[in-house]
Structure 1
């Protein structure tokens, strides 16, 4: 009787309004907050908080309002953000088994497909990470070749700077090529000349993809992939760039397949091809061509982008702080001199240089929000309930600038890493590589590169900005936080 009366009195618009109200009620029930779930700003029905930017500055402001653990809803998916040294360490270190999985990120899943090292999970991830870790050590520390690769590349980089004859130039492409050559030597067994247009193009495509991946429109792909894949936007460019990079990497793999000697492996790809033969019966471990391709992408991208970006921050900061540059050069002159290259054995005797490099990493804030993780089980963090499967993000920026951990967090201050006697000191809140089981696999390699490249540059050159072209210290936010492009002059000492 009630429905018959309702049907008689409602016109088309009335039914539309009623249907919309029902949808809102369903959305509220479906996406309502679980009991004791982290708080967060109210969202729009159906869409959640998709109009909230996911850059680190916006996240820091929300943390000030809602606390170190808060949530956002992107479409129907809830995401928890963890800020401040205390809570980030609790999640990454003290509860490392609670936040080990990676969620499926639609924007990147198109390319990585849950394979490789960075975005895989479970048995496959454990086997791939263990294999890669072992063989990076074998081709690096075990044979003492990594340091030699880097020392050789330092010479090539400095010669390239010297060829500029003190004229203004943009160092981005050269630095990226130099850093990329280190991981290329390990993975491919060879380096690429700075005049190699093919490799330069790959580095440019990767840098562009990483920048675009942080744009608000590209991030919408993660919320509505079924719709966004048909629409134009930066997400299309991200995918196009990655597919070109994958084509390049597959060509390198095919060259190895044609002349591989499994009894005498030359590099990571050779060893992996050998492992594929050994692991034929263990399909779940994922040792096949598809996974090799993604692992190669993981290594080349992770081994190039962050270290190259850090070195560009180092140069930009030395241009802005010539007095700090002069103190580094004075220490280099005292410990190393000009008759030989700096080596890793010099690092313990160069505390100020080491402190400057660490402060560059802190202040540069290269990967401000880390890479998302997913709760692997129901857990409690900071008094809040976080159900299994919830996507989480560790706000590393808030750790590197935590006012409770750093004396002058907003100032570039190498003294953060020096004690009263001028000796280098470690800081617990220094987490640019993240922490726990998912911390950066290439941390050791990155530290080697940063010290040797940085000290070699300042041993041979005084770096200055062209008149009126001082680099900005406000970063450009993509997936990473990079300095704006700038020009410099490298004046031989």
Structure 2
């Protein structure tokens, strides 16, 4: 009985401490759903569709709200205005990296993605300088990507699996980056693919590097910040049919490519992906090289394809498809 009493007393103390810590912080942080002791708001967030859960909460608590992941408060920014204000207007303050237990154990605080503070700044400068020295955006790296694309095409000729799409440049030379400015529809398709698939719905967690008053709320140093990229990429004010794949979202009335400040698949601000430029080059060259050599055809009627992600947590995982590659 004595052991049972000690266990009950210990559990009661833990619950009381949890309630005290949560209540003491809630008065200063943005509003949010009432958390349970120890568990926080975990039961109110669908792990299979975190983005949808956050969207539903934003309808109740607004574009800036707090959820508790266990006993730890996390401030969520939902919508273009809130995300831009934090990551761009207050970029330095919101440039910290939030706690990410799984990666923390694997990376041990090293690398460019999960580091923070002065170590991150040094790593980022080194990474950007290295990419530039390798020729990012220059002919040398473009040649390498073209060579890889040609090798991929040779492999695809053997497998003959993809869907049918018309070629865009012709068949007598390899695509190059100079072609992009003359291919607004291809550029729009590439942007729409990235917008539509919404690969990293809630971005990687950020953290504030110092105390900040944000939209009349006090956010203490070290608080984890989640920025909903879904709420930006699928904003109906900017994209007429956000749930529909439509390259027209990035084309003006005359068919020219139009940029959008809401296009944030690589995040934005101080911690935007360092390899964004290289990734954009690869996407353009690989896609155009494939379409230059193959028509791609779905094995089922495209109308019957379901594009609903099979998982939509930290990463949005699309379903698998079977396609036929038909040589041009």
Work out the CA distance in 2 between the residues paired with 1:364 and 1:96: 26
Q: Is the 8 A contact 1:80 1:392 kept in 2?
A: yes
Residue segments in structure 1 that go unaligned for 5+ positions in a row: 1-10, 170-314
Work out the CA distance in 2 between the residues paired with 1:465 and 1:482: 20
Counterpart of 1:6 in structure 2 is: none
Q: Does 1:383 align with 2:216?
A: yes
Give the TM-score taking structure 2 as reference length. Answer: 0.90
Counterpart of 1:397 in structure 2 is: 230
Counterpart of 2:193 in structure 1 is: 360
Counterpart of 1:5 in structure 2 is: none
Q: Is the 8 A contact 1:101 1:376 kept in 2?
A: yes
Work out the CA distance in 2 between the residues paired with 1:417 and 1:383: 35
CA offset digits 1:329-388 (Å, max 9, x no partner) = 3xx1xxx32211211100000001100110001001011111001111111223322111
Q: Does 1:145 align with 2:140?
A: yes
Q: Is the 8 A contact 1:72 1:78 kept in 2?
A: yes
Q: Does 1:472 align with 2:309?
A: no
> CA separation of 1:16/1:447 partners in 2, compared to 1, >3 Å: closer, same or farther?
closer
Work out the CA distance in 1 between the residues paired with 2:67 and 2:137: 46
> CA separation of 1:461/1:24 partners in 2, compared to 1, >3 Å: closer, same or farther?
same
Q: Does 1:481 align with 2:289?
A: no
Aligned length: 321
Residue segments in structure 2 that go unaligned for 5+ positions in a row: none
Counterpart of 1:345 in structure 2 is: 178
Work out the CA distance in 1 between the residues paired with 2:285 and 2:14: 60
Counterpart of 2:18 in structure 1 is: 27
1:12 to partner: Cα distance: 9.5
Q: Does 1:50 align with 2:42?
A: yes
1:21 to partner: Cα distance: 5.1
> CA separation of 1:423/1:18 partners in 2, compared to 1, >3 Å: closer, same or farther?
same
Higher-strand-fraction structure: 2
1:394 to partner: Cα distance: 0.8
> CA separation of 1:337/1:15 partners in 2, compared to 1, >3 Å: closer, same or farther?
closer
Q: Is the 8 A contact 1:116 1:128 kept in 2?
A: yes
> CA separation of 1:462/1:142 partners in 2, compared to 1, >3 Å: closer, same or farther?
closer
> CA separation of 1:453/1:25 partners in 2, compared to 1, >3 Å: closer, same or farther?
same
The runs of at least 4 consecutive aligned structure 1 residues that moved more than 4 Å come to 11-23, 468-471
Counterpart of 1:371 in structure 2 is: 204
Structure of higher CA gyration radius: 1
Q: Is the 8 A contact 2:137 2:281 kept in 1?
A: no
1:20 to partner: Cα distance: 5.3
Q: Is the 8 A contact 2:136 2:278 kept in 1?
A: no
Q: Is the 8 A contact 1:472 1:483 kept in 2?
A: no
Q: Does 1:449 align with 2:282?
A: yes
Partner secondary structure for residue 444 of structure 1: helix
1:156 to partner: Cα distance: 0.9
RMSD (Å), alpha carbons? 2.3
> CA separation of 1:447/1:143 partners in 2, compared to 1, >3 Å: closer, same or farther?
closer
Q: Is the 8 A contact 1:85 1:429 kept in 2?
A: yes
> CA separation of 1:34/1:483 partners in 2, compared to 1, >3 Å: closer, same or farther?
closer
Partner secondary structure for residue 423 of structure 1: coil
1:65 to partner: Cα distance: 2.2
Higher-helix-fraction structure: 1
Q: Is the 8 A contact 2:99 2:205 kept in 1?
A: no
Work out the CA distance in 1 between the residues paired with 2:58 and 2:124: 33
Work out the CA distance in 1 between the residues paired with 2:137 and 2:239: 37
Q: Is the 8 A contact 1:465 1:471 kept in 2?
A: no
Give the TM-score taking structure 1 as reference length. Answer: 0.61
Query: Which structure 2 residues correspond to residues 75-94 of structure 1 after superposition, within 5 A?
Result: 75-94=70-89
